[in-house]
Amino acid sequence: MATMILEIQTRGLNQYYRLEQFPVTIGRALDNDVILSDNSVSPYHLRLEQDAEGQVFAHNLSSENGTRLNKHQLGLQPVQVPIPSQLLLGNRKLRLASTAMPVETTHVSRCGGLFAPFCQPLWAALLLLLTVVSLLLNDYLNVPVAKEPLFYISGVLPTLVWMLFATLVISGITRLFTHRWEFAPALSVVSLFNLVPMVLEEISGWLSYFLSSDAPFTWLMTGVSGFVLIPALLYVYLHWVLSQKRLPALGIALVLSALPLGLRAISVLDQVTLANEFSSEPYYHQELSSLNIHANPPLPLETYLQRAADALPSQLADE
Cα gap 249→238, rounded to integer Å: 5
Check residue 281 for interaction with another protein (CB under 8 A).
yes
Q: Answer whether 35's CB lies under 8 Å from 28's CB.
A: yes
Cα gap 249→262, rounded to integer Å: 20
Check residue 290 for interaction with another protein (CB under 8 A).
yes
Cα gap 161→154, rounded to integer Å: 11
If one counts every other C-beta atom within 10 angstroms of the C-beta of residue 19, the result is 18
Check residue 279 for interaction with another protein (CB under 8 A).
yes
Rounded to a whole number of angstroms, the minimum distance from the CB of residue 134 to another protein is 13
Cα gap 134→244, rounded to integer Å: 32
Check residue 314 for interaction with another protein (CB under 8 A).
yes
Cα gap 166→147, rounded to integer Å: 30
**Contact stretch for another protein (CB under 8 A) within 27-35, 36-44, 118-126, 293-301:** 293-301
* Subset of 2-61 contacting another protein (CB under 8 A): none
**Contact stretch for another protein (CB under 8 A) within 81-89, 156-164, 245-253, 289-297:** 289-297
Check residue 271 for interaction with another protein (CB under 8 A).
no
If one counts every other C-beta atom within 10 angstroms of the C-beta of residue 160, the result is 15
Nearer to another protein, 1 or 317 (CB): 317
Check residue 105 for interaction with another protein (CB under 8 A).
no
**Contact stretch for another protein (CB under 8 A) within 192-200, 220-228, 250-258, 287-295:** 287-295
Phi and psi for 65 in degrees, rounded to 5?
Answer: -90, -15
Cα gap 131→135, rounded to integer Å: 6
Among 146, 176, 247, 272, the residue binding another protein under the rule CB under 8 A is 146
Check residue 247 for interaction with another protein (CB under 8 A).
no
The neighbouring-strand residues paired with 27 are 35
3-state secondary structure (DSSP) of residue 125: helix
Check residue 297 for interaction with another protein (CB under 8 A).
yes
Nearer to another protein, 175 or 285 (CB): 285
Nearer to another protein, 210 or 227 (CB): 210
The neighbouring-strand residues paired with 48 are 24, 58
Binding site for another protein (CB under 8 A): 140-142, 144-147, 212, 278-290, 292, 294, 296-305, 307-309, 311-312, 314-316, 318-319
